[in-house]
Amino acid sequence: MRTLTETPRRATKPGAPPPGIRTIYEKSRPGRRAYSLPQTGVPEVSLDELFPGVARRRRPARLPQIAEVDLVRHFTELSGRDYGVETGIYPLGSCTMKYNPKVNELVAALPGVRGLHPYEPEELVQGALELMDTLSRWLAEIAGLARTTLQPAAGAHGELTGLLLVRAYHEDRGAEPHIALIPDTAHGTNPASVVMAGYEPATMPSDARGGIDVAAVRRFVNEHAGDIACLMLTNPNTLGLFETDIVEVARIVHEAGGLLYYDGANSNAVLGRSRPGDMGFDIVHFNTHKTFSTPHGGGGPGAGPVVVRDILEPYLPVPVLKKTAAHQYTLDYDRPRSIGKVRSFYGNFGVLVRAYAYIRALGAEGLREVSDAAVLNATYVMAGVRDLFDVPYERPVMHEFVVSAEPLRAHGVRALDVAKRLLDYGVHPPTTYFPLIVKEALMIEPTETESRDDLDAFVAAVRAVVGEARSDPELLRTAPHTMPVGRLDEVAAARNPVLSQRFPDDEVAAARPT
């Protein structure tokens, strides 16, 4: 068991980094093949005959030529350089990188689930429809609201869907408000979704306690009477603090004719302890990958179910799942006030099955324990590092917390340097520079699935890095030192990305005058 006084792993001085991996093209050799196809015995036909008049490559595609064993070894080596929650603690604030139980994958891989086709007749997929209905009802109960749509394919997609529901609600009443209120601690997707939905975002400041400034909300709403479409809010907010004035905020917005939208990104902190609907919210989206243990990112399928109050039920995307008098499930498309479809078919079914399995396994009491442990772990880590940093808001934290590395600026060290040096300790760094209202922010979310041993090791790594910042700041400014590559110019990479293999003749061609 690692203690706070032990030296964390990979805490090394600058030196020779691990050997780099050659690209697949560097391993390519003319004539090598991973496999070969047998002769077909069919006469060859020229491409000109097969595709007359069609634009074709002037030269063959430059694909690597490599043996199968070398190909397998290449990608196996690459996979060993990856880092995930199955590798170690992943305290990336606001992302809830918790462990996903493997039983969820087993359930989603069952033949009766994996082999379903969205065009199968309703009478042959009653089990799948029942699962969707059950999950919808569970999510509505967790949210404290009435009806659910499972269509949205991600959290941000859920945001857009919810805002389209807001628009449909107001248009149905002959109103045309233009403004959506968002706090200055909002996730970046909030203002982006607001603009995509055709609204104008208006930023509300935080107060001295880190919550939304109620007086500022009241003043703005009074100055823009009749023009408030909604307020989007995360609770707990991205500072890891509970919005204790939410009931008063809801009253102000509702009296102005607006709706309340709950960004469910931080729901992992309050499962079974508080419900958005009881706080006054009218619309909720859940990030199933954060709260209900479905896979994160990687460009793969996701799910962002949206739950609404009964007044918004007529506008839900089609089709809506119904149960007939004969106790059969059917998909209802006859909904004239619906916003239409927001995704093909009915949502990412395999992802929703994983969320169903997670909730079914835990039950109501288990979900409460999830949030209790998430808050306990964040509070524990906060206690272990708070003396090293500035704490911008002296309040009890929820599932995550934000500290400021501003004191380290006296040593020429910034939050980014701390994050880069943590990589040398075999630890994924926390989120940096968010929320934007905290200078040199480090946003830490350990999640409920980490043991005390892992939390202690993380705290020890952070304390060691801060000690290095004071005694040897150059070590941090040049970190990382044990990765395949050192400190990268991230600004240049973002402005001038190189996303494909470069060949010598490409460089020659680029050097020629146009």
pLDDT tens profile 405-444: 999 999 999 999 999 999 999 999 999 999 999 999 999 9
User: Which run of H or E residues covers position 295?
Assistant: none
As a whole number, mean pLDDT of residues 167-183 equals: 98
Q: Tokens 């994160």 identify what position?
A: 296
User: Which region among 14-23, 27-36, 43-52, 154-163 has the lowest average model confidence (pLDDT)?
Assistant: 14-23
Answer yes or no: is 113 within a domain: yes
Q: Look at 488 and 449; give whichever has higher pLDDT.
A: 449
> What's the confidence (pLDDT) of residue 18?
55
Answer yes or no: is 489 within a domain: no
Q: What is the spatial distance between Cα 484 and Cα 502, in angstroms, rounded to a whole number?
A: 20
Q: What is the spatial distance between Cα 337 and Cα 47, in angstroms, rounded to a whole number?
A: 52
> What's the confidence (pLDDT) of residue 108?
94
CB atoms within 10 A of CB 109: 11
pLDDT at 243 over 90: yes
Answer yes or no: is 354 within a domain: yes
As a whole number, mean pLDDT of residues 111-126 equals: 93
> What's the confidence (pLDDT) of residue 512?
64
Q: Which is it for strands 320-323 and 306-308: parallel, antiparallel or unpaired?
A: unpaired
3-state secondary structure of 23: coil
Q: Distances in Å between the alpha carbon of 198 and those of 176, 192, 261, 433?
A: 11, 10, 16, 28
- DSSP secondary structure, 102-128, as one string: HHHHHHHTSHHHHT--TTS-GGG-HHH
pLDDT tens for 251-273 read 999 999 999 999 999 999 999 99
Confidence band, pLDDT 50/70/90 cuts, at residue 361: very high
User: Which run of H or E residues covers position 263?
Assistant: strand 259-264
- Residues with Cβ < 8 Å from 367, sequence gap 6 or more? 142, 271, 272, 359
> What's the confidence (pLDDT) of residue 14?
45
pLDDT at 51 over 90: no
pLDDT at 390 over 50: yes
pLDDT at 10 over 50: no
> What's the confidence (pLDDT) of residue 37?
84
Q: Tokens 């989120």 identify what position?
A: 431
> What's the confidence (pLDDT) of residue 485?
85
Confidence band, pLDDT 50/70/90 cuts, at residue 508: low
Percent share of the chain, pLDDT over 70: 94
- Tally of domains in the chain: 1
> What's the confidence (pLDDT) of residue 80?
87
Answer yes or no: is 269 within a domain: yes
pLDDT at 162 over 80: yes
CATH assignment at residue 284: 3.40.640.10
Q: Distances in Å between the alpha carbon of 339 and those of 274, 314, 333, 335?
A: 29, 9, 11, 9
> What's the confidence (pLDDT) of residue 454?
97
User: Which region among 142-156, 292-306, 406-420, 421-435 has the lowest average model confidence (pLDDT)?
Assistant: 292-306
> What's the confidence (pLDDT) of residue 412?
98
Round the average pLDDT of the chain to a whole number and report it: 92
Answer yes or no: is 157 within a domain: yes
> What's the confidence (pLDDT) of residue 498?
86
Answer yes or no: is 511 within a domain: no
Confidence band, pLDDT 50/70/90 cuts, at residue 510: low
Confidence band, pLDDT 50/70/90 cuts, at residue 298: low
Confidence band, pLDDT 50/70/90 cuts, at residue 3: very low
* Residue 86 CA neighbour count, 13 Å, CB half: 9
- DSSP secondary structure, 317-354, as one string: PSPEEEE-TTS-EEEE---TT----SSSBTB-HHHHHH
pLDDT tens for 196-221 read 999 999 999 999 999 999 999 999 99
Confidence band, pLDDT 50/70/90 cuts, at residue 503: confident
pLDDT tens for 440-478 read 999 999 999 999 999 999 999 999 999 999 999 999 999
> What's the confidence (pLDDT) of residue 490?
87
Answer yes or no: is 107 within a domain: yes
Task: Identify the domain containing residue 139 by its residue range.
Answer: 103-360
Answer yes or no: is 25 within a domain: no
> What's the confidence (pLDDT) of residue 19?
62
> What's the confidence (pLDDT) of residue 6?
46
